[in-house]
Structure 1
Amino acid sequence: MGKIGQSLVLLVSVLLWSTWLPVSLCAKKPVAVSRKEDVPYIKCQVCEKLASQLYQHVQTKQAEISPKKISEYQIIEIAENVCNLKKEEADWILKIDIVETGDKLELIEQDAEGICNSECKTIERACQEVMGYSDTDVAEYIYTSKPDMESLVNYLCKDLTKTCKTKPPPLPKDRTPGEPFLPKPTKEAEMEKMLRSMEGMPGAPSMKMYSREELMNMKNLGEDADDEEDDDDDEEKFPSNLGKLLREKESRKGDWKQRISKGIKNASETLKKHATKVAIRVKRWWRGVKAARSKASKAEL
């Protein structure tokens, strides 16, 4: 089955599944906002967990494609996604609770994913600040040096970003406590994973968390359309040969649409890979220039 067919099957599954969920799970939620003031107190811990996740994701990807070796481009993709809650690689953020302990904040890992409120967004923000523009650098280090987890933590958090070079400041006594960690209902978590897996599929809608009524309306529209088609078939009697020609014409249109969609996606992936390679070469060249200047200045001294 093609990707368009797969996306349609997933969409139908989502619509049917929505009838089993309570309205409270499907209703649109207010957008959570990060607490910028908390970032300095958790940044080093976030960096350590980020490095750990990078290591684990790379190992998992390597096991999936073995005996083929993981490419630098694939590692860069992981580094780009690991701090983005819209991507599967960032699911680790959903399992962390920020707990106030004395004059510091601690990141406590939970057994299940939690509902993403301000704490979840704060961890995402801290993660993105740590990674910054270092994704290609850390990807190159992983690809060329193949470090163990401890070496990767030291490289990312102490050498590359300096995030853990100094201790975080003491926590203000008047800090407003964060919200409690609330485990996410299993069905809601599975629904979100299904919707996210449809992103980027040709023919799949750009789906977000619709309300139950909206999902049911979409389902009913589809049923109404099917009923209208059945009525048209009963009322209008075309010659069999003409009907066959029309079906063949529609089939050819569908093939062209699928080919164009596939071509656009392939071209986009190729351009992204090319841009990544260019960025890597430019960074290496610039490091060489800086190293040469540093040697020249030392020689003058």
Structure 2
Amino acid sequence: MVGMNRVLIALTLALVASSALLPVSDGAKKPSSAPRKEDVPYIKCQVCEKLASRLDQLVKEKQQQISPKKISEYEIIEIAENVCNLKKEEADWMLKIDIVEKGDNLELVEQLEEGMCNSKCKTIESACQKVIGYADTDVAEYMYTSKPDLVSLKNHLCKDLTDACSKKPPPVPKDRVPGEPFVAKPSKDAEMDKILRSMQGMPGAPGMKVFSKEDIVKGNIGNDDEDGDDDEDEDEDDKFPKNLGKVLKEKEKESKTEELKKTITKEFKKTGEVLKRHAQKVSNRVRRWWKGLRSSSSKKPKSVKSEL
């Protein structure tokens, strides 16, 4: 079903784009999205504290979601691995934070809505990744075994595992150039971005692209032949029209109603949920294998020592 899923995802994204759910602007000039790494030392401690709060929140939400089953260490590790990656839904907390210069300090100010992810958003991501580094599995193990409260978690992550809050941040240079203003993201764009983040890394979705109307009309979609040799997909794939661009063009002419948008979004979410459950199963199996491998490796030196 992998080939089928990829075609479905490509078709859905194309229809979404053609019905103006994902507007494309060729002439608009976007602000720089490169992180300002020189700002990281001024916000590192604040980012670490917010990171700890987000970890605590996500683990509790996951526990409520799977209750009465207990959350596993692997599930906590997965959360810790994704919480600083803006391509993952666990990291959407960074989209609601603005960096504001106050006196000789930089402060993180939480907003009510998600903002356009430009240099500030990327700077927070850079600081978050610098903080957690290789400590993601360590903090996950600590949360699983110790079940700490939020204060203990902040101290452990920001002072024990890392040096994020070990000393006061330096004063901001007076000649620092302010960043771009915080601009709230349109609600429909925020919702679609959330769906796309939730599908990152799932089977059948690794090469997802969002196509422009020009690509759709010309038929420049679905040209990958990666799954062309899958016998089980051939019968299903043959049911899709050969000239997809022409069909989509006709569909665009036929209707651009709100009902079509709702139907597409609903089917998109449904497909994402199925793929996400499959990805979770595969991820858990890999983690169990890796945990066993690490455990066996750590025991080898002891056995060698006893033989000597």
* Superposed pair shares fold, TM > 0.5: yes
Task: Report deviation, 1:209.
Answer: 4.2
The residue that corresponds to 1:39 in the other structure is 40
Tell me whether 1:141 sits opposite 2:142 in the alignment: yes
Distance verdict in 2 for CA 1:167–1:280, change over 3 Å: farther
The residue that corresponds to 1:275 in the other structure is 290
Indicate if the aligned counterparts of 1:28 and 1:211 stay in contact, CA closer than 8 A. no
Q: What is the TM-score normalised by the length of structure 1?
A: 0.72
* Structure 1 SS opposite 2:243: helix
Distance verdict in 2 for CA 1:285–1:112, change over 3 Å: farther
The residue that corresponds to 1:153 in the other structure is 154
Indicate if the aligned counterparts of 1:14 and 1:191 stay in contact, CA closer than 8 A. no
* Structure 2 SS opposite 1:17: helix
Indicate if the aligned counterparts of 1:98 and 1:107 stay in contact, CA closer than 8 A. yes
Mapped partners of 1:63, 1:7: distance in 2:
32
Mapped partners of 1:150, 1:75: distance in 2:
18
Indicate if the aligned counterparts of 1:39 and 1:123 stay in contact, CA closer than 8 A. yes
Distance verdict in 2 for CA 1:279–1:90, change over 3 Å: farther
Distance verdict in 2 for CA 1:216–1:128, change over 3 Å: farther
- Give CA deviations for 1:242-277 in whole Å, capped at 9, x if unaligned: xxxxxxxxxxxxxxxxxxxx9999767533432245
Distance verdict in 2 for CA 1:207–1:9, change over 3 Å: closer
Indicate if the aligned counterparts of 1:195 and 1:207 stay in contact, CA closer than 8 A. no
| Structure 1 residue ranges without an equivalent (≥5) | 229-261, 289-301
Indicate if the aligned counterparts of 1:47 and 1:127 stay in contact, CA closer than 8 A. yes
Mapped partners of 1:151, 1:8: distance in 2:
47
Task: Report deviation, 1:108.
Answer: 0.5
Task: Report deviation, 1:203.
Answer: 3.5
**Matched ranges for 1:114-263 at <5 A:** 114-204=115-205, 206-218=207-219, 223-225=241-243
Aligned positions, number = 254
Distance verdict in 2 for CA 1:104–1:117, change over 3 Å: same
Task: Report deviation, 1:186.
Answer: 1.8
Indicate if the aligned counterparts of 1:15 and 1:219 stay in contact, CA closer than 8 A. no
**What percentage of residue pairs aligned between the two structures are identical?**
58
Larger deviation, residues 199-208 vs 26-35: 26-35
Larger deviation, residues 51-60 vs 209-218: 209-218
Indicate if the aligned counterparts of 1:33 and 1:121 stay in contact, CA closer than 8 A. yes
Indicate if the aligned counterparts of 1:15 and 1:216 stay in contact, CA closer than 8 A. no
Q: Which amino acid aligns with 1:50?
A: L
Task: Report deviation, 1:28.
Answer: 10
Distance verdict in 2 for CA 1:16–1:98, change over 3 Å: same
Indicate if the aligned counterparts of 1:105 and 1:171 stay in contact, CA closer than 8 A. yes
* Structure 1 SS opposite 2:169: coil
Q: Which amino acid aligns with 1:273?
A: R
- Give CA deviations for 1:9-33 in whole Å, capped at 9, x if unaligned: 4443322221232333998968721
Task: Report deviation, 1:202.
Answer: 3.6
- Give CA deviations for 1:28-75 in whole Å, capped at 9, x if unaligned: 968721111000000000000000000000001111111110011110
Larger deviation, residues 87-96 vs 180-189: 180-189
- Give CA deviations for 1:269-301 in whole Å, capped at 9, x if unaligned: 533432245447878999x9xxxxxxxxxxxxx
* Structure 1 SS opposite 2:107: strand
Larger deviation, residues 150-159 vs 125-134: 150-159
Q: Which amino acid aligns with 1:275?
A: W
Indicate if the aligned counterparts of 2:77 and 2:137 stay in contact, CA closer than 8 A. yes
Distance verdict in 2 for CA 1:26–1:151, change over 3 Å: farther
**Matched ranges for 1:280-299 at <5 A:** none
Answer 1 or 2: which has greater helix percent.
1
Task: Report deviation, 1:154.
Answer: 1.2
The residue that corresponds to 1:15 in the other structure is 14
Mapped partners of 1:263, 1:198: distance in 2:
11
Mapped partners of 2:176, 2:279: distance in 1:
50
* Structure 1 SS opposite 2:181: coil
The residue that corresponds to 2:53 in the other structure is 52
Q: Which amino acid aligns with 2:143?
A: I
The residue that corresponds to 2:258 in the other structure is none
Q: Which amino acid aligns with 1:129?
A: K
* Structure 2 SS opposite 1:99: strand
Mapped partners of 2:171, 2:245: distance in 1:
66
Mapped partners of 1:43, 1:189: distance in 2:
26
**Matched ranges for 1:46-125 at <5 A:** 46-125=47-126
Mapped partners of 2:12, 2:244: distance in 1:
17
Mapped partners of 2:199, 2:146: distance in 1:
35
